[in-house]
Amino acid sequence: MKVLSLPMGADTGGVTASNMRAFDGEEGWEYRAIISTLNFISYDRDMAWTADAVTTFWQWADVIHLHHSMVAVERLRHGWKGFRLPHRPYVVEFHGTGFRENPSPYLAEMRRHRALGIVSTLDLYLLAPTAVQWIPCPVNVSAMQTRADPIEDDVIRIAHAPTNRQIKSTEALLLAVKRLQDEGHAIELDLIEGVTWDECLDRKAKADIYFDQVLLGYGNNAIEAWGMGIPVIAGAAPATLAEMERRFGTLPFYNATEDTIYESVKVMVTDPEARAEYAAKGLAHVRRFHDEKVVVEQLKDIYQRAAQQGRRRAA
């Protein structure tokens, strides 16, 4: 089966690049991607956006995997910039802010085009549990383990890589770290901003703790940190936490709220047993849910169902 992943914009969280790597070598499957925008993060890219590439691979694909919305279908099938492309079976993956703020128009658009809907995080799943499926973001755990590069000394290093400081509670983390430093704790914060994905991985690999976010649940930075054996501090709304506990059996991160960031960081800084416990929990979690081989099977099922639905419609 041939799959085209088509974000109109940047590759959100590197999900498309991760999916491509996961399908590499899968017998009977071909996976290509056209990325229209490269930002400073510079995730791996398959093909740049050109009229020839879009036209060729749209028609080549058995299934098209869209991201955020059905805008590519609306534009490319109906004459935008000269494009007039045929219907294909669609999967649409919702990633973040727009869907989170108001999922209704996205779901209506999805149904109108008879697409199958998936989401990359569980807080988004809870907005439409009967309409979408959660597909975990994949990671190559072996590659992350090889990349791990801890520094053996008495300093505890905390890494944090916010793309949006407000959403990631960065200011509260800065205050917590300053307070702990003033109390005499030997800690350093590596605030990773404005760098490539490759540099982010290199810096994160040296951390003893990764601080992700406490409002929305964990993201791809946490998944990579777990793969490196690094414990994660994160948090989410009560409903999302309950859904995680239902699915996972236990929370893979040390749970924090905006009001308990200082206390949570202090526990993880001062208690090596807590760090070891949550490093083990996180690695077990990422192997169980996010390993490439696990996610590939879920994606295959989605793509096969989309293609089957398309065949029924054509008949």
Q: Where are the domains of the chain?
A: 2-138+292-314, 141-290
pLDDT at 84 over 90: no
Question: Any bridge partners for residue 187, and if so which?
Answer: 156
pLDDT at 109 over 50: yes
Mean pLDDT of 88-104: 94
pLDDT at 126 over 90: yes
pLDDT at 314 over 60: no
Mean pLDDT of 70-87: 77
Tokens of 305: 């169902």
Listing DSSP states for 90-159 in one string gives EEEEE-SHHHHH--HHHHHHHHHTT-EEEESSHHHHTTSTTTEEE-PPPB-HHHHHHH-----SS-EEEE
Go through 146-174 and write b for each residue having 16 or more CB atoms within 10 A of its CB, e for each that does not: ebbeeeeeeebbbbbbbeeeeebbbebbe
CATH 3.40.50.2300 for domain 141-290, yes or no, is no
Helix or strand run (H / E) with residue 76 = helix 71-76
pLDDT at 171 over 50: yes
Residue 75, pLDDT score? 75
pLDDT at 236 over 80: yes
What are 249-292's pLDDT values in tens digits? 999 999 999 999 999 999 999 999 999 999 999 999 999 999 99
Q: Do domains 2-138+292-314 and 141-290 have the same CATH topology?
A: yes
Residue 79, pLDDT score? 67
What are 181-221's pLDDT values in tens digits? 999 999 999 999 999 999 999 999 999 999 999 999 999 99
Query: How many other C-beta atoms can be found within 10 angstroms of the C-beta atom of residue 284?
Result: 14
Residue 81, pLDDT score? 67
pLDDT at 315 over 50: no
What confidence category does residue 309 fall into, taking pLDDT thresholds of 50, 70 and 90?
confident
Residue 312, pLDDT score? 66
Residue 80, pLDDT score? 66
Residue 26 CA, distance from chain mean position: 22
pLDDT at 110 over 90: yes
Helix (H, G, I), strand (E, B) or coil at 255: strand
Residue 313, pLDDT score? 65
Instruction: Tell me the average pLDDT of the chain.
Output: 94
What confidence category does residue 151 fall into, taking pLDDT thresholds of 50, 70 and 90?
very high
Residue 159, pLDDT score? 98
Mean pLDDT of 226-234: 98
What confidence category does residue 47 fall into, taking pLDDT thresholds of 50, 70 and 90?
very high
More confident residue, 101 or 9: 101
Q: Which of the four CATH numbers 3.40.630.30, 3.40.50.12780, 3.40.50.2000, 3.20.20.80 does domain 2-138+292-314 have? A: 3.40.50.2000
